[in-house]
Amino acid sequence: MACLRRATWPAHQRLEKRLDVRSRFATLGAYVEHLRGLWGFCAGLEARIPAATIGALLADYPARRKLPLLTRDLESLGIPAAELGGLPRCTALPDCTDAAAAFGCLYVFEGATLGGQTLLPLVAARLGCDAARGAAFLASYGDAVGAMWQRFGAALDAFCVDRERRASAEEAATATFAALEAWLCGQPA
């Protein structure tokens, strides 16, 4: 985890700067557009992750999927389920067919659960959203965020024990940050 954090730090910081959360969460309409973008990214990414392989290494993987949370958020904010299937899906995604790369991709969204804890109060205050209405993605694991992060880190560290696996995870995580930035913010300035 420490190697992954160091390797992805520049990409992570660039994405955070470009996201401009204050404007994305300024109005309910802007927030819904942000959620639509995240939904399209997760729909593409989660379809590529080898669920059986990663599930054998991370037993609670099904509970970690973000697409169901984003679907629930969008539906609770008035987007019909039928409309979700027609949303654009990101296809410019990193290869995550091997387990180490999948761990790298998942690292980005597992880390987002930590960030969600700081963003949830902002969305609640500005937009009146909470875990039950419009902010399930941000609320993610609720009070279990820390424990879920630690379990993810333990599974990642147990699998990515050699240089090759660590490099694969680092490359996939960095590529996931870059793909997410391009998808949500356009090409880098």
| The listed CATH number (3.10.50.40, 1.10.10.370, 1.20.910.10, 1.10.1040.10) that belongs to domain 2-184 | 1.20.910.10
pLDDT in tens, the chain (189 residues): 899 999 999 999 999 999 888 889 999 999 999 999 999 999 999 999 999 999 999 999 999 999 999 999 999 999 998 999 899 999 999 999 899 999 999 999 999 999 999 999 999 999 999 999 999 999 999 999 999 999 999 999 999 999 999 999 999 999 999 999 999 998 765
Q: What is the pTM of this model?
A: 0.94
CB 104 within 8 A of CB 53: no
How buried is 122 (Cβ within 10 angstroms: 0-12 exposed, 13-18 middle, 19+ buried)? middle
Q: How far apart are CA 151 and CA 60, in angstroms?
A: 9
